[in-house]
Amino acid sequence: MSIKSKLPFHLLALFASVVWGSTFASSKVLLNAGMSPAEIMTIRFAIAYLAMLPFAIRSVGFKGWRDELLFVLLGLTGGSLYFLAENTAVNITSASSTVALIVCANPVLTAIVSRLVWRGERLGNHFAIGSAIALTGMALVVFNGIFVLDDNPIVFILSLASALCWSVYSIALRVMEQRYSSLEITRKVFFWGVITMLPYFLYEPFGIDMEIMGKPEVIFNVVFLSLGASLGCYLLWNVVIRRIGIVVASNYLYFNPVVALITAAIVLDETITMYAVAGCAITIVGVYLCNKKNKK
């Protein structure tokens, strides 16, 4: 596939990253309304799964324990376990920037895991230099002029686990996309994401006040997270991984905090400093260098 023919998929990867970056502000609105992180994740995945059913051309039945266990792994690493690890880390720390910074290392972790699994994928100097520059930019964006880190090892472990979850999700996704369509995989991810989250509610019961669900801002953000960030972007991401590969696609995740910062300023009236502006510019340079070899 030529560079020109791949361009639409690079744009789709960037679009998905932009939408996912805006989910932080959207989720914050729902958290402020009284919903828990687990409730938000379960509702958005359940609605996304149900929304896919009328458009399903064929059902993904049971095709052996190996494939079904891989689908469970996708549901865990791309859904329940990923969100629980990240949100728990945020909830137990007073310095959420620590969590954000570690999660920002996801593209690097994905590339390393991919390299370990498939020896043929060489990362190259451009990737190493670009990643270092992008991470530096991300640090400036995440801290936004206030440099505070949490030295709690539990926070570090949970944050790293969250980042690794998405890396494993991307690797398992590459395996499954050779045998199933993006639509089939996405449906299974939502299904197992919800199922594997249910045991958590034995610890923290599911109990949303229906008055909350009737508020316009709650309805809007639930729909956005369910149909836009979940249904739309998970489906897009599965297609993107298939077309341009794990490492290249993951580089666009560096833009998540950039978009999160901008949407937080618009929706939540948070302040953007010159540190963050400089970080955005540095991040763009880093992502360009990461993909420079591929463009050649």
Q: Tell me, what's the pLDDT at 294?
A: 47
Is 89 within 8 Å of 159 (Cβ atoms)?
yes
Phi then psi for 153, rounded to 5 degrees?
-65, -30
Q: pLDDT of the chain along its 296 residues, tens only?
A: 545 567 788 889 889 888 887 887 788 788 888 888 888 889 999 999 999 887 665 555 656 778 889 999 999 999 999 888 877 776 665 444 555 566 667 777 777 777 777 665 566 676 777 777 777 776 776 666 555 554 566 767 777 788 888 888 888 888 888 888 888 888 899 999 999 999 999 888 888 877 888 888 899 999 999 999 899 999 898 888 888 888 788 878 877 777 777 777 777 676 777 877 787 787 777 776 766 654 44
Q: How far is CA 109 from CA 61, 70, 116, in A?
A: 32, 20, 11
Residues 6+ away with beta carbon under 8 Å from 175: 70
Is 180 within 8 Å of 60 (Cβ atoms)?
yes
The pTM of this model reads: 0.81
Q: Tell me, what's the pLDDT at 49?
A: 92
Question: Among 296, 294, 295, 287, which residue's Cα sits nearest to residue 129?
Answer: 287
Is 177 within 8 Å of 242 (Cβ atoms)?
yes
Q: How far apart are CA 241 and CA 180, in angstroms?
A: 13
Structure tokens at 26: 């959207």
Q: Tell me, what's the pLDDT at 96?
A: 47
Q: How far apart are CA 50 and CA 91, in angstroms?
A: 30
Q: Tell me, what's the pLDDT at 45?
A: 93
Q: Tell me, what's the pLDDT at 197?
A: 94
Q: How far is CA 203 from CA 49, 154, 197, 207, 258, in A?
A: 24, 19, 11, 12, 34
Q: How far apart are CA 147 and CA 72, in angstroms?
A: 38
